[in-house]
Amino acid sequence: MAISLCTLSDIQEYEPDITDYGLPSFDNEITRANADVVRDIRVKWWPTQQIGLYDINYLGANSIEMNEDLLTASQWTTAAVYQVLGFHILPKLSKFEVDGDVFQNKMQYYRKEYEREFDLVLRDGVEYDLDSSGTVENREKEPQHYLRLKR
């Protein structure tokens, strides 16, 4: 099952007039943005989670796949809104003029904010219900990166 990280009403909190530009629906864009955020979590965070929990022999081909339903969706809402605006909705509205247009400027802004927000969530600690108990305990949301050098 695909997790829902943001909705149209979440997007409208950041861009209240987004439905006034002639796009008939945002469902596909929201679905794609949710999938992109989950993919980024799987790529940037999940390997660090496995290293802390499993014997090194289990990594690689035998690694366990992340279950996106065990994430706390509300933790990723802001990042998902930035993702859908910066990478999916605003590029459809832009005319990509040489000097830029308002949509290009907003697109660049939201792309930068997406990276910043994603990094802040990682540093704060990803909430992942590892034992599927229905609640996320403190040990399940500890930050994985303590500003250490990653190799």
DSSP collapsed to 3 states, 28-62: HHHHHHHHHHHHHHHHHCHHHHHHHHCCHHHCHHH
Indicate whether 145 belongs to any domain: no
Indicate whether 150 belongs to any domain: no
pLDDT in tens, 77-121: 999 999 999 999 999 999 988 887 899 999 999 999 999 999 999
| Structural domain of 31 | 8-140
Indicate whether 148 belongs to any domain: no
- DSSP letters along the chain, please? -------HHHHHHH-TTGGGGS-S--HHHHHHHHHHHHHHHHHHTHHHHHHHHS-GGGSGGGPPPP-GGGB-GGGGHHHHHHHHIIIIIHHHH----TT--HHHHHHHHHHHHHHHHHHHHHHH---B-TT-SSS--GGGS--S-SSPPP-
Indicate whether 69 belongs to any domain: yes
Indicate whether 147 belongs to any domain: no
Indicate whether 70 belongs to any domain: yes
pTM of the model: 0.84
Higher pLDDT, 64 or 19: 19
pLDDT in tens, 44-80: 988 877 655 544 554 455 457 888 998 999 999 999 9
Number of domains forming the structure of the chain: 1
Indicate whether 2 belongs to any domain: no
Distance, CA of 88 to CA of 23 (rounded, Å): 12
Indicate whether 93 belongs to any domain: yes
Write out the two tokens for 44.
């940037």
